[in-house]
Structure formats: structure tokens, C-alpha cells
Structure 1
Amino acid sequence: MASHRTASVERSTEETQISLWLDLDGSGKGEAGTGIPFFDHMLELFARHGLFDLQVRARGDREVDFHHTVEDVGICLGQALREALGDKKGIRRYGFALVPMDEALVEVAIDVSGRPFLALRTPELLPLALLHAGTFPAQLLEEFLRALTVHGTLTLHLEVRAARDPHHLLEASFKGLARALAMSVERDGRILDIPSTKGVL
């Protein structure tokens, strides 16, 4: 059996202190302690639905707002993803998911391309900047995804096709992200090298 692909990342700034460990070949065990209960819930279900093992500990300036903590966890997760993937030989590269949660429906597509790009689309009548799940601003979904895509060098398209409840919108987004990412980083025994005609990702 191939060895597990793991990585640990530490990040310390004047705004946050973060410790993150990721195993791409885990069993879905997530442990998150960021001081933001809703965000912890999203990170733990991300691990569960992607079959990743993930541990996150974060301290941040939550008295200002949640922005720095959420963004910096995204940075660390992206960095850990890149480190765990190594040279990317043998991975499927592309992944996608269509995830319903009650009235919400979210579509996610990922290319582990080495080129950071985020396209996040939501219905015009459902602006993230005006929505909250409890005390968690839905707009932070975009900040998390942007940090993840830049530091993980991913191409990521996420479209909210339908939603009314902000909690459902966010949860379906994190579940879709997990399932699409799990597919894209999965090893395929038929792929012996880097899945690109360029020879590099």
C-alpha cells in the first residue's frame, strides 16, 4: 500500500497563530479548534466527506472579527495540500461534485492545475455579503476559498445553484469542496506520472 500523503503547517502572525495537520489518505477524522464554532463544524465535515484526516488549532483576533482566522486557516490548508501532494504523480487531477442539502444545491469543480483561480457564483438574490449562519458571515466562504486556491494552486469553480438558508448554502459548499477535492487528489494506478502533457503541474 502506498504511504500516506501528510503535511504539517505552522503559521504565526500578529493576528493569528495556526497549527494544521493534513492526511490526504485518511479516514475522515476531523478535529478543529478555531474558537469559531460554526467554522469548526465546517472544517470537521470537510474532513469527514473528503475522507481526509485533519487537525486544526487556531488562535486569532476574533474580537476584531472572524476574517483573519478564517482566511489564515485557508492559507494553511492550501499550503498543507501542496506539500502533501508532492510532485502530484499518479493523481486524477480533476474532481467534481454536485451536493444537495435540503433546498440548497451546490456544484463544485476542481483542477489541481498549479494555477490559482477561483470562480464563485451565487444567485443575484442571495448576496453572501448580507447573509449569516448564526454569527458567521457567509462572505467568509469566499475569503477561505480564495486563500485555499492561491496557496494550494488550485483552479476552483463553485456555483450555488439554489439556496434559501445560509447554513445550508455554506454546509453544501464545504461538503462539495471536500468531495471534489477528494476525487482530484485520488491516486489512479493507471496514471504513472504527472497528469499533464506539459509534464508539470
Structure 2
Amino acid sequence: MRTGTINRKTSETEIAVEVNLDGTGAYEVSTGIGFLDHMVEQFSRHSLIDVKLKVSGDLHVDQHHTTEDSAIALGQAISQALGDKAGIGRYGTAYSPMDEALARVSLDISGRPWLVWKAGFSQPRLGEMDAELFEHWFQSIAQAIGITLHIELLYGQNNHHIIEGIYKGFARAMRQAVELDLRKGGAVPSTKGQLGG
């Protein structure tokens, strides 16, 4: 089993996270932000990556630190579970429809973190969560895992549908990228013999 465990404590947040890349999509998520919980649960269920994530953060200040640090810790746990990345698919792309909204997510577990974000919202909050923090969450997780990540909203109107479609697309793309390809024979999927650097 490819698993990762991160315990991260700062003056702003305390986080415990466990992941299993070879799981079934089981999750236990508690960040203190209900809408963020819902999105991480969607990621787990549709990527088939088991996720246990517990966050205690300074929500009396705002949601920024909890959002950012949860993505960093989750990304670090996934990176740990990937190890040297031998045998993985490496690339993933998913088109994700959610009613009237359609998102496209493409990623490369390259070791070279980058985010292209072409999405937006027509309201400042979704549930109790600041909408501007979603881009930051994806920036933080891309950095922590070391992935090149392209997220595009092709069209859509309902803000909940837009972000849920994006998270489900990210999940499906990650599922493709982390799955082991038996034809690779355990080789790192790069002509350099390593990913990153």
C-alpha cells in the first residue's frame, strides 16, 4: 500500500492527515469549514484515495490559514505516498460535467509545481467559504505534491456546480495519474529516470 502521514503544527493550524493512494475513496474530513470538508470528501471519493484529514485552525481570524495549510498537508501526504513515483501513470485529464457546468482538469506529476487557473465565481462566498480561497487551495496542493495543474471552467453559471465539478475533475485526473501502469514495469515515467529537478 502506498500511504502517507503528515502531522503539521504551526501557530496558526494543527493538522493530522493520512492518505492511501490504493484505497477505495473512504474519507474522514474535519477542517472546521463545512464547504471545504464537502470538497475534500468529493476529491477522496472520486480519486479513490482514502483521506483522513483533521484540522484545528485560527478560524476566529479568517479561513485563509486553514484552507492553505490543509492543502499543503494533504499534498505533502500524497507526495510521501508517491515515493519515487515508479510505475505511475503520471498524467491525468478529466472533463467533469456538473449539470450546466463543465470543467476540464489536466495534470502532470512532474515535480515541477505550476497552476493555471481559468475559473471564477459570481459571488464572494460558497456556503460559509470565501470563494477566492479555492484557487489558493489548488495552488497550495499543486506546490506540495509537485504537480503541473491546469484547471479551466469551460462554461457554467451555478457557483456550487462550478467548484464541485472542478474538484471532481481534479479527483478523476489524480486517479489516472497515481494509478500504477503494469506495462511500465516499475520504471519512473521519465526519460531522465527521475521526476522533478
TM-score by length of 1: 0.94
2:33 paired residue number: 36
Residue 195 in structure 1 maps to residue 189 in structure 2: yes
Percent identity between the two aligned chains: 46
2:131 and 2:99 map into 1 onto residues whose CA distance is 18
- Would you say the 8 A contact 2:122–2:159 is kept in 1? no
Deviation at 1:130, TM superposition (A): 4.5
1:152 paired residue number: 145
- Would you say the 8 A contact 1:95–1:110 is kept in 2? yes
1:133 and 1:82 map into 2 onto residues whose CA distance is 29
2:91 paired residue number: 94
From 60, 74, 77, give the equivalent of 1:77: 74
- Would you say the 8 A contact 1:110–1:181 is kept in 2? yes
1:95 and 1:158 map into 2 onto residues whose CA distance is 12
1:52 and 1:150 map into 2 onto residues whose CA distance is 19
TM-score by length of 2: 0.95
2:155 and 2:134 map into 1 onto residues whose CA distance is 16
Secondary structure of 2:153's aligned partner: strand
1:165 and 1:67 map into 2 onto residues whose CA distance is 23
1:166 paired residue number: 159
- Would you say the 8 A contact 1:74–1:148 is kept in 2? yes
- Encode CA deviations 1:137-187: one digit per residue, 9 max, x unaligned: 221111111111111100000001112111111111111111000100110
Matches within 5 A, 1:34-73: 34-73=31-70
Letter aligned with residue 188 of structure 1: D
Residue 25 in structure 1 maps to residue 22 in structure 2: yes
1:113 and 1:155 map into 2 onto residues whose CA distance is 7
1:120 paired residue number: 117
1:160 and 1:132 map into 2 onto residues whose CA distance is 18
- Aligned pair count reads 194
Secondary structure of 1:7's aligned partner: strand
Deviation at 1:131, TM superposition (A): 3.1
1:170 and 1:31 map into 2 onto residues whose CA distance is 20
1:100 and 1:131 map into 2 onto residues whose CA distance is 22
Matches within 5 A, 1:174-185: 174-185=167-178
Deviation at 1:128, TM superposition (A): 3.9
Secondary structure of 1:114's aligned partner: coil
